[in-house]
Amino acid sequence: MSTIIFFAVAAMVALFAVGLVLCLWREPRFRLLVSPIFARIKSLLRAHRSVRATRQLPDALLLLCNALKAGLALPQAVDLAASLLRPPLSQEFGRVAAQLRMGRDFDSAFASLADSIPTEDVTLLTQSVDVLRRTGGNLIETFSSLNATIAQRRRIEEKIRALTSQGVAQAITLLMLPWFLSASLFVLAPDFIRPLYSTRLGISLLALVFLLEAAGAVWLRKIVLIRI
């Protein structure tokens, strides 16, 4: 019963928040404030979807290889992969297959896959297919080598992520430590920390801390983030 009450309250809060946003959306100031937040959320969701689709790419390449070995044409292999894969990559392959059935040429239909999933692996796949269709290369060998390359890159990325996990934890600790100490002082000794947010000098120091924290976060990210 408590679970039902929890979800009911959560739904009411969500409906209230949506209604409040819809009411305030007419205000230009509110729209100017909230629009970048919505754009950022949309960008993060798209990036997360692209990462999920890229993780499914080795399975898709294996399906395409097996379909081509069985004698299917490449458009038929794409349609088969769309029916056997899971979202979100199945949706993208299904969109390509639908465009091919509507009469769109294969090169432009397959190039739209890189527009929907803007990652290096998908771009490499679409460019390889484009070049091989024009020059008459072996798609089966190309898909097999791409699958091996992507799998090897993923193993290297996982190894790098394991080696840099300690650095990431240390970076988060260093960035959160000043604010944790400030919150502790605010609870234990409020009179001691009150000048930090009630005087002009204290507010200036807080602004300087924000800038230094942002610069430190960028610097630490460049140290612990290794691209291959």
pLDDT in tens, 58-84: 888 889 888 888 888 888 888 888 889
Domain endpoint, select from 33, 54, 75? 54
CA distance 228 to 218: 19
DSSP 136: T
CA distance 178 to 167: 18
34 has pLDDT over 80: no
Domain endpoint, select from 120, 137, 154? 137
Residue found under tokens 């929907």: 116
45 and 101, same domain (yes or no):
no
1 band by pLDDT with thresholds 50, 70 and 90: very low
Tell me how far the alpha carbon of residue 178 is from its chain's centroid.
Answer: 29
What do you get for the CA distance between the two ends of the chain, in Å? 51
9 is a domain residue: yes
Residue range of the domain that includes 176 = 163-224
pLDDT in tens, 119-138: 888 888 888 878 877 777 78
203 has pLDDT over 60: yes
Spatial CA neighbour of 66 closest among 147, 177, 149: 147
Q: What pLDDT score does 2 carry?
A: 47
